[in-house]
């Protein structure tokens, strides 16, 4: 048996902890000492980006936190606006680095201290991008020597770097122990491809290639997101994930609010906020998040104002609504059927034009009718994607 000792389990008092394989572990730790949750994020993240790469043929990246992705993306060119919103104006971006900048930029507040998963051999631009972000570690199929040297300098030499065997395939059956009882099931090897999108059930049948791409990104993301889960995707990346909620509508609201924040971060007023000199990116992310809230307590207001050289002029509710009203072409995906039309109504407020879900609810007709009212296109895959 091949065995890797870990720092501890889910919590520091849960020691000893280890990772084991009956033959040979499919990964090698090149730097640092990963923990239990690090490895859960790493192995889920690797499966996600590997599947995205297979489905779309593009470099893929994921930003994982607590066994759910905060963001995922494939490599698509960044506009000047997105470069500014992602704090990537003056950095070199390779295709892989672009994918990670997008994945990290989906929800930069949630990505603080993330685990990065990358589908390609890590090059220097990607290593430089990782090195400047607050991140716990990275998993990839390989590293250029200079890129590895850069990452080994991060966090005083303790940054966790894992190399995964890209040819490794797990057995068909997977098991886990809970409370001394062993569960077993067939691994979720259900394929998500363009064929999955062929059953369009709405009056509007027009599904452009860009929407198909974003549907695949959203569905593959949900496959590795703690359920219940819903996500919004746009322009080759996820822009809002609602994970681990007990009701579908709460997933939709949570993911929708994150998608709204993603769009609002590109507002000219946000891009030109008067930050004081030498304030770090995490502090800027938190300040932007608070800038976009409707109300702040007096204590929050005092803390928030410390980030700026002068008090910024807040966006009014009307200004936010006017900016968000410009959106369209967003994809909404769900890991299980929509039991009511409420999620469709909420999604319409966030620029959703395309919906993909398994279908199979006794109220499918009501949900289809709601999509038709908004002129949305909806595909039903017949494939539930619960992940626990």
**What is the rounded average pLDDT of the residues 254-260?**
97
CA dihedral 52, 388, 64, 51 (to 10 degrees): -10
Q: Is 250 a catalytic residue?
A: no
Please indicate whether residue 13 is annotated as part of the active site: no
Torsion of CA 129, 131, 136, 138, to 10 degrees: 60
Convert the pLDDT of each residue in 346-373 to its tens digit: 999 999 999 999 999 999 999 999 999 9
Does the pLDDT at position 320 exceed 90? yes
Q: What is the pLDDT of residues 44-86, one digit of tens each?
A: 999 999 999 999 999 999 999 999 999 999 999 999 999 999 9
**Phi, psi of 297, deg, nearest 5:** -70, 165
Per the residue annotation, which of 31, 44, 65, 258 is the catalytic one?
65
Q: In the prediction, which pLDDT does 299 show?
A: 84
Catalytic residue among 3, 13, 278, 388: 388
- Rounded to an integer, what distance in angstroms lies between the CA atom of residue 358 and that of residue 340? 14
Whether 228 is catalytic? yes
Cα separation, 14 vs 36, whole angstroms: 10
What is the model's pLDDT at position 298? 86
Residue in this structure with the two tokens 């800038």, named with its chain if needed: 291
Average pLDDT, the chain: 95
Question: Does residue 300 carry a pLDDT above 90?
Answer: no
Active site residue 90: no
CA–CA distances in Å: residue 141 to residues 43, 46, 101, 197, 280: 12, 9, 19, 30, 31
Residue 229 has pLDDT above 90, yes or no: yes
Rg (CA), the chain: 21
pLDDT attached to residue 278: 87
Predicted pLDDT of residue 294: 84
Quickly state the pLDDT bin for 302 (edges 50, 70, 90).
Answer: confident
- Indicate if the pLDDT at residue 1 is higher than 90: no
pLDDT, one tens digit per residue, over 161-209 is 999 999 999 999 999 999 999 999 999 999 999 999 999 999 999 999 9
Residue with tokens 């303790």: 158
Distance (Å, rounded) from C-alpha 186 to C-alpha 214? 27
Mean pLDDT of 147-169: 96
Sort 369 into a burial class: Cβ within 10 Å, 0-12 / 13-18 / 19+: middle
Q: What is the pTM of this model?
A: 0.96
Res 335 pLDDT > 90: yes
Reported as a pLDDT band with limits 50, 70 and 90, residue 43 is very high
Which of 31, 228, 258, 387 is the catalytic position? 228
Among the options 21, 66, 250, 320, which is catalytic?
66
């Amino acid at each position: 048996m091949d065995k890797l000792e870990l720092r501890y389990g889910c919590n520091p008092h849960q020691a000893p902890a280890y990772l084991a394989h009956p033959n040979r572990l499919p990964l090698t730790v090149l730097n640092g000492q990963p923990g239990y949750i690090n490895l859960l994020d790493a192995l889920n993240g690797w499966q996600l980006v590997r599947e995205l790469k297979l489905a779309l043929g593009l470099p893929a990246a994921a930003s994982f936190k607590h066994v759910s992705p905060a963001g995922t993306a494939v490599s698509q060119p960044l506009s000047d606006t997105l470069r500014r919103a992602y704090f990537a104006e003056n950095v070199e971006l390779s295709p892989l680095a672009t994918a990670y900048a997008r994945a990290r930029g989906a929800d930069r507040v949630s990505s603080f201290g993330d685990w990065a998963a990358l589908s390609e051999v890590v090059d220097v631009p990607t290593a430089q991008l990782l090195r400047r972000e607050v991140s716990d570690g990275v998993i990839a199929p390989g590293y250029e020597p200079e890129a590895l040297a850069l990452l080994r300098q991060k966090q005083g030499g303790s940054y966790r770097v894992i190399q995964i065997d890209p040819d490794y395939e797990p057995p068909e059956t997977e098991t886990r122990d809970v409370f001394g009882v062993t569960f077993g099931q067939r691994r979720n090897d259900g394929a998500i491809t363009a064929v999955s999108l062929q059953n369009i059930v709405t009056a509007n049948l027009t599904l452009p290639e860009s929407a198909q791409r974003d549907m695949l990104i959203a569905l593959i993301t949900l496959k590795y997101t703690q359920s219940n889960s819903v996500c919004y995707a746009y322009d080759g990346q996820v822009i809002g994930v609602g994970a681990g909620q007990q009701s579908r509508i709460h997933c939709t609201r949570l993911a929708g609010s994150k998608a709204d924040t993603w769009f609002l971060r590109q507002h000219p007023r946000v891009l030109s906020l008067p930050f004081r000199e030498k304030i770090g990116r995490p502090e800027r992310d938190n300040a932007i998040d608070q800038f976009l809230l409707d109300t702040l307590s007096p204590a929050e207001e005092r803390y928030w104002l410390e980030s700026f050289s002068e008090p910024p002029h807040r966006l009014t509710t009307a200004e936010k609504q006017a900016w968000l009203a410009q959106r369209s072409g967003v994809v909404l995906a769900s890991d299980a059927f929509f039991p009511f039309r409420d999620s469709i109504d909420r999604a319409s407020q966030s620029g959703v034009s395309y919906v993909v879900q398994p279908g199979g609810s006794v109220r499918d007709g009501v949900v289809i009718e709601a999509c038709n009212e908004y002129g949305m296109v909806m595909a039903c895959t017949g494939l539930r994607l619960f992940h626990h």
